[in-house]
Structure 1
Amino acid sequence: MRSHLAEGWDANAAAWIEWTRRGLDSYRTHKLAFLPLIPRPGRLTVDIGAGEGRVSRELRASGHRVLAIDRSPTMTRAAATHPEEPVPAVVADATQLPLPDAAADCAVAFMCLHDIDDVVPAIAEAGRILAPDGKLVLAIVHPLNSAGHFEPDGSFVIPDAYTQARHYATTRTRDDLSMTYHGIHRPLQTYTEAIADAGLVIERLREYGSDDPADKWYRVPLFLHIVASRPAVGSG
């Protein structure tokens, strides 16, 4: 199955690896809100859309047995051959995870689901590999963020229908590097319905933005964090 978003990210993989390893994205602050949502280590934690392995390395350092999964061969190789903290990593599509049913206690999808063309089957796969009481912990670009933009006068504009999915590519330049993000805007309901259809129950939904009232992103959330669980057998 062809994936336009995966192809875009693989084409920019070398730039992304350098971009994130030099700390030019928001991860250093964003992770402080996200990582505490991940449960204690269990049998297996699967890092879906792991990229070059930054979350996997954090999880291994805190005692998790981690398997990193990404569709990009370049990203996966970078995760597996990190010079200081290599992680077990395999190339696979998020819609066809190479694991049996109920194999994992936790599935993490950090800032990747909005970069996946077929997000509904990807969430279904995350649900499939979770054991009873297992958790799916995800972070995405907040749908308000991906729906609109700030004008020079400070107003926030949503130029097209919030409810309609659409692809986007955003290029950012910092220091001497340029990085293009490929993603797809989807309304929040797309994610919440997919989570419900996967047999998972949302436990937490948190919006993340700036803590600085002078920052424009204090007014509009940047990211969305969700924790969902597979009910234990016989619960309810």
Structure 2
Amino acid sequence: MEVGREAQYDVFAEQFLDHARDGFYNAHLDRPACLDLLGDVAGLRVLDAACGPGLYAEELVTRGAAVVGVDISPRMVELSRRRVPGGEFRVHDLAEPLVWLPDASVDRVLFALAVEYVDDRVALLRELRRVLRPDGALVLSRQHPFGNWLRHGGNYFEPRVVEEVWSRGWRVRYWLSPLERTCEELRAAGFLVERLVEPRPSPEAATLDPERFERLSREPTGFLAVRAVPDPR
């Protein structure tokens, strides 16, 4: 049982950019939460792992960060380069080591909405810890496991791969896993969870889609985000 190493988003990269730029879930739920957990990044070097089309990187550069972005999708990397000319982007499969990044060479790591697509998550998280400075932090977001369980049913505690077609016709394959599994994978990779948040929509989203705003303000059916720090012990 595995997701595999296909660049799934490559076939709809431009469509995803159009969707995520101002989309309710991305622009008003996940991005604000992740950027808040990253904190003040002015003057810091940030690794944007699974950078997608560069929407997070654009905001990080605006806030004064030097961004290094990687993504398995060549089309996503090209979109990032166009969007953020001042960033450094390359095509990279996160199942492989980040061999060009020295130990303790970045101040922050952002890993937004991509952990579900990685088969050996502990190995990747260990690599992210390797390149992170001892006083740095990792911000990771993922689909909310309870929301996944409500949609897919079955045994909440049993990790498994699912395949589905999203509303725009995008076929995706990814891991379902409980919250405790994500926390355990972080621990096994040498991290301590500093904060865990269950984002609610930003206030300005209330006028965009009142029904969705109300639902996501009371139901854990969106995302969750974690700020983890290297375990000094």
Q: What SS does structure 2 have at the residue aligned with 1:148?
A: helix
2:205 match: none
Q: CA deviation at 1:231?
A: 4.4
Q: Distance in 2 between matches of 1:210 and 1:18?
A: 19
Q: CA deviation at 1:148?
A: 2.3
1:13 match: 13
1:100 match: 102
2:60 match: 59
1:152 match: none
Cα deviations across residues 154-192 of structure 1 (Å, max 9, x unaligned)?
Answer: xxxx6211122222334344xxx5444432111122221
CA contact (8 A) 2:44 2:64 kept: no
**TM-score scaled to structure 2, two decimals?**
0.82
1:153 match: none
Call closer, same or farther: CA 1:39–1:17 in 2, change over 3 Å.
same
CA contact (8 A) 2:3 2:117 kept: no
Call closer, same or farther: CA 1:167–1:231 in 2, change over 3 Å.
closer
Give the residue type in structure 1 aligned to 2:188: D
Give the residue type in structure 2 aligned to 1:39: G
1:48 match: 49
2:186 paired residue among 189, 195, 200: 195
Q: CA deviation at 1:147?
A: 2.1
For structure 1, the 5+ residue unaligned runs are 150-157
Worse-superposed segment, 210-219 or 108-117: 210-219
1:132 match: 134
Give the residue type in structure 1 aligned to 2:60: L
Q: CA deviation at 1:3?
A: 5.8
CA contact (8 A) 1:207 1:225 kept: yes
Give the residue type in structure 1 aligned to 2:55: R
Identity, in percent, stands at: 25
Give the residue type in structure 1 aligned to 2:90: V
Cα deviations across residues 184-221 of structure 1 (Å, max 9, x unaligned)?
Answer: 11112222112112221111011124588952662334
Q: Distance in 2 between matches of 1:216 and 1:93?
A: 32
Alignment RMSD: 2.5
Is residue 160 of structure 1 aligned with residue 158 of structure 2?
A: no
Is residue 37 of structure 1 aligned with residue 37 of structure 2?
A: yes
2:80 match: 79
Q: Distance in 2 between matches of 1:81 and 1:19?
A: 17
Q: Distance in 2 between matches of 1:210 and 1:168?
A: 26
Q: Distance in 1 between matches of 2:18 and 2:170?
A: 10
Q: CA deviation at 1:71?
A: 1.0
Q: What SS does structure 2 have at the residue aligned with 1:45?
A: strand
CA contact (8 A) 1:107 1:126 kept: yes
Call closer, same or farther: CA 1:209–1:43 in 2, change over 3 Å.
closer
2:25 match: 26
CA contact (8 A) 2:109 2:128 kept: yes
Q: Distance in 2 between matches of 1:192 and 1:71?
A: 25
Q: What SS does structure 2 have at the residue aligned with 1:204?
A: strand
- The alignment of Structure 1 onto Structure 2 pairs a total of residues equal to 218
Q: Distance in 1 between matches of 2:32 and 2:68?
A: 22
Call closer, same or farther: CA 1:61–1:216 in 2, change over 3 Å.
closer
Give the residue type in structure 1 aligned to 2:82: T
Call closer, same or farther: CA 1:187–1:199 in 2, change over 3 Å.
same
Q: Distance in 2 between matches of 1:109 and 1:14?
A: 20
Call closer, same or farther: CA 1:118–1:214 in 2, change over 3 Å.
same
For structure 2, the 5+ residue unaligned runs are 203-210
